[in-house]
Amino acid sequence: MFNNDNFKEMRKFSQSILRDAGLGKQSLTGIVQDEAKHLTDKIGMHEGQTSAIQDDVRNAVFNVLNHIVFGKRYSIHEDYSTAPLNQS
């Protein structure tokens, strides 16, 4: 199914790209921690109401990726539908 040499080459390339993007570095840890704080604040705004947090978690992941790629995070009050990754 996969050529072992080809797989190793793709894996090495992927790791290089992720490392260049900040994976495994202290700066990325700060970005994730900051977004986790925003996420817990957003969940706290539900004030004990039963609600699905799927959109909140998806937006938090989107913000981490967006910060890595574009250097910007979206506020919880912004419309995510205008974000670059949501446009087709």
HEC per residue, the chain: CCCHHHHHHHHHHHHHHHHHCCCCCHHHHHHHHHHHHHHHHHHHCCCCCCCCCHHHHHHHHHHHHHHHHHCCCCCCCCCHHHCHHHCC
Q: Is the pLDDT of residue 81 over 60?
A: no
Mean pLDDT value across residues 20-43: 81
In this predicted structure, what is the pLDDT of residue 78? 59
Q: Whole-number mean pLDDT of the chain? A: 76
Whether 49 and 87 have beta carbons less than 8 Å apart is answered as no
pLDDT band at residue 87 under the 50/70/90 scheme? very low
- Distance in angstroms (rounded) separating the CA atoms of residues 32 and 64: 6
pTM of the predicted protein model: 0.58
Percent of the chain beyond pLDDT 90? 2
